[in-house]
Amino acid sequence: MLLRTEEIKRKIIHLGNSVIPLSYYFFVEDRMMMIWILFSITICFVTVDYFRFRIGWIQKWFRIFFSSMLRKHELEGKLTGATWAFIGGTISVFLFEKDIAVLALLFMSVGDTVAALIGQRYGKIKIGEKSLEGFTGGFISCILISIFFPSIIWINRISGSLAASLIELSPLPIDDNLMIPIVSGGVMALFRGASL
């Protein structure tokens, strides 16, 4: 099954969400500063989402440039995936230690993207609307990413990777850009606390 150009564009943009954890990891040392940066950006995104259905020229601009990449529910008044990514980023940085927050957000941006692309291209064994192939690809990509975080013990990394992949697979009504980092980060933080 060939991927549509619009879907590829959407996943490239989704992969771009990696800028959130990578900026935190490499450039922002202070946790509170990162929270305020993400919170400020989140407010901007929520504001745009609010007004794009209430001000004609903003709605028209959005439809011209982004309609081919937005999901149906995003065109019908719901928050965009990008907005949920920043909400998830803000909450994750607030809740978790730096290494866990960064890894959980990479699960969201990279693992979710890999799962979707593999599932849409090679998925044959269906699990609801998703596929076993997509789940497996996403899980493996999360495991590979987690190798670069030796400060998190291996059982925590595997548990977080599995949690992220299961959230991506699940038909939850809440956007997975929010749920993946919070649930996977929570699992890793819980196991870290239990091992102390």
**For the CA atoms of the chain, what is the radius of gyration?**
17
Beta bridge partners of residue 130, listed in sequence order: 127
Task: Please report, rounded to a whole number, the percentage of residues in the chain having pLDDT higher than 70.
Answer: 93
Which amino acid belongs to residue 174?
Answer: I
More confident of the two residues 167 and 53: 167
* DSSP-assigned letter for residue 111: I
Check residue 53 and give its pLDDT: 83
CB atoms within 10 A of CB 131: 22
For position 8, what pLDDT does the model report? 74
* 4 pLDDT more than 70: no
Contacts of 30 (CB under 8 A, 6+ apart): none
Average pLDDT across the chain, whole number: 90
Cβ atoms within 10 Å, residue 94: 14
Return the pLDDT at 60. 82
State the pTM of this model. 0.91
Per-residue pLDDT band for 76 (boundaries 50, 70, 90) equals: confident
What is the pLDDT at residue 70? Answer: 74
User: For position 147, what pLDDT does the model report?
Assistant: 98
Give the percent of the chain with pLDDT over 90: 67
Q: Which residues pair with 89 in a beta bridge?
A: none
Structure confidence at residue 194 (pLDDT): 64
Task: Give CB contacts under 8 A, 24+ apart, made by 157-163.
Answer: 157/103, 157/188, 159/187, 159/188, 159/191, 160/100, 160/103, 160/104, 160/107, 160/184, 160/185, 160/187, 160/188, 161/107, 161/111, 163/187
Structure tokens at 40: 């400020």
Rounded (5°) CA angle 111-162-23:
40
Mean pLDDT along residues 111-139 = 93
- Is residue 80 pLDDT above 70, yes or no? yes
- Residue 196 pLDDT exceeds 80: no
Instruction: Kindly give, in sequence order, each residue whose CB lies less than 8 Å from that of residue 164, ignoring residues fewer than 6 positions away.
Output: 104, 107, 108, 111, 112, 138, 142, 180, 181, 183, 184
